[in-house]
Structure 1
C-alpha cells in the first residue's frame, strides 16, 4: 500500500457519513436479519465496503481489533491504524474481530462477557460470499414474527445465543450490505 492510498479510503465527509453509517449499523443490530446498505468507507482489499465502513464507524484508539486470516494484511493494518487509531490485538482481547467465518473460528476464542458485565463481549464482523434473507429462521427482540438470514454455521450460532445474556454479537457483511445477529436472537434451522 502506498502512502497516498494508506491515507485514502476513509469517510470523505466524516461527520455526515459516520452518522449515517452508525445509524445503519445500529438499525441492523436492532432488527436482526434485515439486510441494509452500509457505505462510506473504501477499505483496502480484501475487506468489503460494509466491513470497512463498520470499522471506521465503531472503532477508535480504545477499541481492540482482531484481524483474522486473509483480513490481516499490512495494508489493512495501516489503513485501520491511520483512520481509527484502533490497536490490532489477539482474539482473546478483541472488542471487534473481522474475517471470514472459517478464519474467525472457534467462537470460544472470544470474550463473551461476565454475569456482572455481559456487555464486555466481542462483536464479530463476518465477511460472507453472499448475504440473503433465506436459511435460518430468526425470532426474538426486534423481529416481528420471524425473519430469515443466510448464516454460516447455525449450530455454533445457536449455541452462542443459548448463553444469553452472555455471548458474542455478529455483523455479517457482503459487498456494501450488512445484517446483524445479536446474542438475544433465537435461531432455528430452516425447514
Structure 2
C-alpha cells in the first residue's frame, strides 16, 4: 500500500469525530449558518482536510463513498479512505451514501446520485463539496426550515446551472440529495428542504 494511504487520521478518533459530527448536524439543522471544524489532518492530495474529516466521521463499511474524477485519479485517496473508514469506494453515485467532490464546478448532475425512496427518503446520497469560498454576507438567498427569515450564501465554485439543478432536486421532496459545502475549516449545510433564489 502507498505510504500516503497510511497517513494518520484523527489524533483522537472518538473526540474528533464527535466534534465533526456535531458541526455537520448543526450545519444541516441551520442551513446557511457556517459551523467550524477542528481540523488537524494531512490526507493525501487532492483530498482536503475538511472532506477527509467529514468522511472519517460519516463513512463506514455500511456507508459507501463516491469520489469525483480528481479524487478517483489519486489512488492514495481511495487507499487512505478505505484504511481509515472501512468504506467501499463505488463508481456509481446512486450506490453511495456520501459523495466527495473536490471540484464542485464539474459536479455531475444531481440525478446521478441516490435521491432516496418515497418510503425511505433517508436512503439518499449526501454530497460533500470542497469549495474555495463560503461567504454568508451576500449571494444567494436561502429560505426554509432552520432559517429565521432568510440567509445568504456566496459559495464558489459551483456549476453554472446550480440553481436549476437545486430546484429540480427540491421538486423530488421528500426525496432528494442534501449538500454539505466545506471551505477551510467551515461547513455550511444545504438540506433538500432549503429553497434558493438569486
Q: Could you tell me the TM-score, scaled by structure 2's length?
A: 0.89
- CA displacement, residues 19-46 of structure 1 (integer Å, 9 cap, x when unaligned): 1111011001111011122133332211
Q: Tell me the CA shift for residue 2 of structure 1.
A: 4.3
Q: Tell me the CA shift for residue 129 of structure 1.
A: 2.0
- Give the whole-Å Cα distance in 2 for the aligned partners of 1:174 and 1:71: 17
Residues 48 and 176, structure 1, Cα contact 8 Å, conserved in 2: no
Residue number in structure 1 paired with 2:175: 166
- CA displacement, residues 107-166 of structure 1 (integer Å, 9 cap, x when unaligned): 111110111111111100112121111311111111111111124222211221232111
* SS of 2:33 mapped into structure 1: coil
Q: Tell me the CA shift for residue 85 of structure 1.
A: 0.6
After TM superposition, the structure 1 = structure 2 runs for residues 136-151 of structure 1, keeping only pairs within 5 Å, are: 136-151=140-155
After TM superposition, the structure 1 = structure 2 runs for residues 79-90 of structure 1, keeping only pairs within 5 Å, are: 79-89=80-90, 90=92
- Give the whole-Å Cα distance in 2 for the aligned partners of 1:9 and 1:124: 24
Paired residues, number? 188
Residue number in structure 2 paired with 1:98: 100
- Give the whole-Å Cα distance in 2 for the aligned partners of 1:70 and 1:35: 26
Is 1:185 equivalent to 2:188 in the alignment? no
Residues 62 and 86, structure 1, Cα contact 8 Å, conserved in 2: yes
Residue number in structure 1 paired with 2:78: 77
Residues 7 and 44, structure 2, Cα contact 8 Å, conserved in 1: no
Residue number in structure 2 paired with 1:16: 15
- Give the whole-Å Cα distance in 1 for the aligned partners of 2:52 and 2:37: 9
Which structure 1 segments of 5+ residues have no match?
A: none
Is 1:135 equivalent to 2:139 in the alignment? yes
